[in-house]
Structure 1
Amino acid sequence: MRAIVIEEQGGPEVMRFTHTDTPEPGPGEVLIDIEARGVNFIDVYQRSGTYSVSTPFTPGVEAAGSVAAVGPGVTEFPVGARVAWAMAPGGYADQAVVPAQRVVPVPDGVTAEQASAALLQGMTAHYLTHSTYAVQPGDTVLVHAAAGGTGLLLVQMAKARGATVIGTASTEEKRRLAGEAGADEIIDYTTTDVAQAVRELTGSQGVAAVYDGVGADTFEASLQSLRMRGVLALFGQASGAVPPVDPQRLNSAGSVFLTRPSLAHYVAARAELLERSADVFGLVAAGRLEVRVGGRYALSDVARAHEDLTARRTTGKLLLT
């Protein structure tokens, strides 16, 4: 089968396109024929060495397809079942062996492309808006990179829960997409003081929550945009890691809360994984959550996908198909 193998962490060029043997599922595992794979920043972190990963490995923590075989003890998924997974490696290949506990069913009305585009980022948007800071009707929230894959889903979910959404985006096209997703106000963060604009838009009150997946470039503006006792959910670091923060700054900002959440901790239990994935797929199937695919790449063209993602040349979700 075709696969991407990384033998040493580094730049996009370390992802080697090769052919390997088809893996066999062991106890509690399923073998999945992959139809589409999501490209995520966590893939970049693992490839580059930002996150330590044992080598060699096949990257890709999100994909969708059908069950080709099951290992001993697996009864939940029959051969042929349509499934998807997130937060387990091996997606950049034609087939992958995945622990059955990480696999979720894909319902009728959701395609493999939609499933692989929506699962990881959809569950991320879900836990952020439903659990990390549960958006309440009447809240105003700030979403950075509002035209990105997660950003577009965050905007839609926050709006569905009754929030006024302020988004940030860097280009006219991205601001248009954020507006179409439901953002009430969109700030060009390349030319505008974001925190000052937020204060003006909220009558100097600030926002109930900031959803920040950008990190170093936006952290200061995020902190300064919060209302008293607001929540800064720093869920990513696309622009780099945030330097250490003096806790006293949280006090002076208005007794605000800073959290660095991870999807893995919000789907650690099987029941929670099934509940979140079912909610996300249900919204997609009902047409209440639009999943924008911003680019499709051949598996052999994975380096370009990573380059486009990290250069912020894209909108929506990138897929390897």
Structure 2
Amino acid sequence: MARTPGLCEGRVVVVTGAGRGLGRAHALAFAAEGARVVVNDLGVGLDGAGPSGSPAGEVVAEILAAGGSAVAHGGDIATAEGAASLIACAVDTYGRLDTLVNNAGFLRDRMLVNLDEDDWDAVMRVHLKGHFLPLKHAAAWWRAESKAGREAAARVVNTSSGAGLLGSVGQGNYSAAKAGIVGLTLVAAAEMGRYGVQVNAIAPAARTRMTERTFAETMAAPEAGAFDAMAPENVSPLVVWLGAAASAGVTGRVFETEGGRITVMEGWRPGPTADRGARWTPAEAGETAAKLLAASEPPLPVYGSR
């Protein structure tokens, strides 16, 4: 009996940080829907230090064993050379690129007064620069294809976080990087639409190496056979849809996803406003701001602040 074509049949998908956790779940889910997958992972530890095995190759082996098609890439996507070689790996191996999922990252959590400059730079590098460089090189390839008359239904899925949307105590570096990814997503969606590229972001919550300690402290493990709301595999269906041609018309959006829940996040937009048509005095500005704040919706609390 012939296999039913999947949602991403024949598409070429690159997933960064795909050796474990969310990235691994995404890579396997794309392959299950017929995609050919480039599995990128540098194989470093939770804090980005030192190699820790060959997780990319292990995921490729899983995909091949299930009858899919995949290739491993072990380059550092936070370098120009590594990001360029990632896109080249997809094009040289499969002749095209359809979807880029930026997922790679690690944590170096500290309260701000204890946060070293190296910890700030390392987290910014892997999350923010590690999104920008693959996006830049993929965009250049898609632009060239478009100019050659071969416009594709290209997709980019970036990975932000609730920490980037609301902030998270003890994660100033991570929160800032993830907020920057939202800004990058909005700009990329506006700039790249002319080349047939849609760019969206997710803010996922799942149990991975980066979060397992938090969930172990705050949530009981699911009973045998019960729905595991924190399994990373719960996030991947939305990522696969966003990475598929079926998501046509959806761009510049941020989705929060956790367990069986999907939420469209609505970002900054004008609230209560006052305009006197002339300069305020400091006292007048303060009085007016207080009135506007009283008429506005209160912000949601920062994670870990209550």
* Structures share fold, TM-score greater than 0.5: no
Q: TM-score normalized by structure 1? A: 0.25
Larger Cα-atom Rg: 2
Give the strand-richer structure, 1 or 2.
Answer: 1
Q: TM-score normalized by structure 2? A: 0.26
Give the helix-richer structure, 1 or 2.
Answer: 2
